[in-house]
Amino acid sequence: MSLFNFLQIFFVCLLGAMSPGPSMVVVINNAIFKNRYNGILTSIGHGIGIGMYAFFAVAGVGLIIKTNMILFNGIKIISIFFLIYMGIKSILSKNNLDFSQGNNKEGLSSFIQGFIISILNPKIFIWFVAIYSQFMSSENDLVFNSYLVFTASIVDATWYIFLTFIVTSDIVLRFLKNKSIIIHRVIGILFIIISAILLIDIMK
C-alpha cells in the first residue's frame, strides 16, 4: 500500500467523522452532562459501530442494504425513534452538569448509546460503499482490507475522544456551568430537528 493510498483513506475517514450530525450531538451530550469518561466511552462505542459498517462495506454487505429499500428505511425509522427519545429525555431533564470524573456508573449506557447511534444510521453504509468502492479490488490482501476497516474505526473514535476533551475543558465547562437547563433544551431540540429531517427524507 502506497503512502498516497494511506493518506487518502485516512483523510476520507477523518472528514467523514468530522461531519456534523446526530453522532456528534450524542457524544457532546454525554461528555457534558455525564462527564469526560462517559464521553470517551460513547466515542469508543461509536468507533466500533463505524468499524462494523466499514467491515460490511468491504465485505459487500452494504450493497444489499443499498438495494433493499424496505430494510434501509426500516433502519432509518428505528433511528428516528431513538433520536426522538433522546430529544425528549434531554428536554425534560432537570439535572445539573456533572463534571465529576468519579461518576462512572453510566459508562455502559454511554458506550451503548455511541454504538447504537452509529449502527442506526444506514447512510453510513452508503457512504462507505461509495467511498471504499474506489479502493476495493479482487487483488486486495487481508492486510489492506483490515486497514480499511480499522482505520475507519480508530479515526472515528479518536476524533470524538478529541472532541470530548475540547467540550470538557475547564474553559468550556466554566462557560456552561450555569446554563445546564438551556443546554439540555438546545440539545433536545437538535435531536428533534434531526429526527424531523430524517422523517421528511423518508417521505420523499
> What single DSSP character describes residue 176?
H
Closest CA to 36 of 102, 116, 108: 102
Tens digit of each residue's pLDDT, the chain (204 residues): 567 777 878 887 887 787 777 788 889 888 888 888 999 999 999 999 999 888 887 776 555 656 677 776 776 677 678 778 878 877 887 665 554 444 556 778 899 989 988 888 766 777 776 677 666 666 667 888 888 889 999 999 999 999 999 988 888 777 766 666 777 788 788 778 877 877 787 776
Measured between its terminal Cα atoms, the distance across the chain in Å is 42
Using a 10 angstrom Cβ sphere, with 0-12 exposed, 13-18 middle and 19 or more buried, the burial of residue 97 is: middle
**What is the pLDDT at residue 203?**
77
**Rounded Cα gap, residues 98 and 34, in angstroms:** 6
